[in-house]
Amino acid sequence: MTEHHGDALRPGETALDLPAPNDARLRFIGRLRTPFAGREECPRQGSDDGPECRVELSPEFAPGLDGIEAFSRVELLYWLHEARRDLLTQSPKGDGAVRGTFSLRSPLRPNPIGTSVVRLIRREGAVLVVRGLDCLDGTPLVDIKPVRCEFTVQAAGKGV
């Protein structure tokens, strides 16, 4: 088990054996299942009236979903695994207008992390059914968080 100085488990807490906090290697926690087989089929950004998509967690991460049903929206972070990572400036529409990567939400970026705030329709065990995704079927999932505004109300005044 990785050492976590000063972060001993509290009663009822559970943990997996994962890399140390200063090790930036990602461990994907699941996959996003969408109807979008090719990049040209994906919307530029998801929307509330988009198709139902499935957030499929790997079984070992499923306990991490406990309590998620309390939220109507969750934020998903995912790894845009088919995007090149080396562009510092780019012309998204190919029209000659060039902008810096960090002034865009383009999938092409040094660390191709996409984020979407999606509507949580329901939970089915280790699966969340959501609307509002814009990524390819099979995109690896990095993280799930309740949206800030709903979470702030529930967690007001409390530490982690």
Q: How far is the CB of 17 from ligand SAM (least distance, A)?
A: 28
d(CA 68, CA 88): 37
Question: Per rule CB under 6 A, is residue 27 in the interface with ligand SAM?
Answer: no
Based on CB atoms, which residue is closest to ligand SAM, 57 or 118? Answer: 118
Tokens representing residue 143 in the block: 């993280």
Q: How far is the CB of 44 from ligand SAM (least distance, A)?
A: 5
Question: Per rule CB under 6 A, is residue 105 in the interface with ligand SAM?
Answer: yes
Out of 29, 139, 141, 144, the residue judged to bind ligand SAM by CB under 6 A: 139
Tokens representing residue 10 in the block: 């509290």
Based on CB atoms, which residue is closest to ligand SAM, 4 or 84? Answer: 84
Residues forming a β-bridge with 6:
none
Q: What angle do CA 43, 45, 50 make, to 5 degrees?
A: 65
Q: Which residues contact 16 (CB under 8 A, 6 or more apart)?
A: 60, 61
Q: Which range of residues in 47-55, 64-72, 77-85, 142-150 is near ligand SAM by CB under 6 A? A: 77-85
Q: How many of the other CB atoms lie within 10 Å of CB of 67?
A: 9
Based on CB atoms, which residue is closest to ligand SAM, 10 or 93? Answer: 93
